[in-house]
């Protein structure tokens, strides 16, 4: 999957690139609308992540240029009002993300748009483990690993956010779908079982006073 990131803030551009590359996507970066237009003229991308307030050519104008190519576009912008969201979606964007955003949300929305476009069938890989989210299958060195539903969801979340420290409350609320009360025993037990089943005692790191991360 190839993704073009069009964002003039170098720190945000790099954060998006690192997050998506870690999740298995191939990324190209542009820092103004003119550079992005040149890249789009010469390449076909599976998805474009597009800021609105860009130097040289703004995101709205660039979106008009992209639409005839059929490439899906997600706006990522600080323009947070309801009017801005409506305008962006009516102009033809496939989704609209407001800064600041969580990496997990970005990855989920990217995957959702690609899936809608028939491009979202992909596998996650790290070390000796491959996960097929659609088939709900985990392979370690091509040998199936049996995980519970919660263990599987935890693994997918860790793999989608590799090298990112995830807070305990974030992990619990995303996987269990209910508010985190401060009790860590359930989450910690599932992490321990996941480590044991995958042989990932060193790969799934405990981050002091934060939570866990998958180190790759």
What is the pTM for the complete model shown? 0.59
- CATH class, range 124-214: mainly alpha
Give domain limits for the chain. Answer: 2-116, 124-214
Q: Give per-residue pLDDT as tens, 131-163.
A: 988 788 999 998 999 999 999 999 988 988 888
pLDDT band at 120 (very low <50, low <70, confident <90, very high): low
Handedness of CA 45, 50, 55, 61 (dihedral sign): positive
Choosing among 3.40.228.10, 3.20.20.70, 3.90.79.10, 3.40.50.2300, the CATH entry for 2-116 is 3.40.50.2300
Give pLDDT, residue 192. 96
């Amino acid at each position: 999957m190839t993704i073009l990131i069009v964002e003039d803030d170098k720190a945000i551009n790099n954060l998006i690139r690192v997050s998506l590359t870690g999740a298995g996507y191939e990324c190209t970066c542009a820092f103004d609308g003119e550079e992005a237009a040149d890249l789009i003229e010469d390449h076909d991308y599976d998805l474009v992540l597009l800021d609105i307030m860009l130097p040289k050519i703004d995101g709205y104008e660039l979106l008009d240029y992209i639409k005839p190519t059929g490439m899906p576009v997600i706006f990522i912008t600080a323009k947070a009002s309801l009017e801005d969201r409506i305008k962006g979606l009516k102009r033809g964007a496939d989704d609209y993300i407001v800064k600041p955003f969580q990496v997990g949300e970005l990855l989920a929305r990217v995957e959702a748009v690609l899936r809608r476009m028939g491009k979202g069938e992909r596998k996650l890989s790290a070390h000796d483990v491959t996960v097929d989210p659609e088939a709900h299958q985990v392979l370690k060195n091509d040998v199936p690993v049996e995980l519970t539903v919660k263990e599987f969801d935890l693994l997918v979340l860790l793999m989608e956010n590799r090298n990112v420290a995830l807070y305990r409350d974030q992990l619990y609320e995303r996987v269990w779908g209910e508010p985190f009360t401060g009790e860590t025993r359930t989450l910690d037990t599932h992490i321990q079982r996941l480590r044991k089943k995958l042989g990932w005692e060193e790969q799934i790191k405990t981050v002091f006073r934060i939570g866990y991360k998958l180190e790759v």
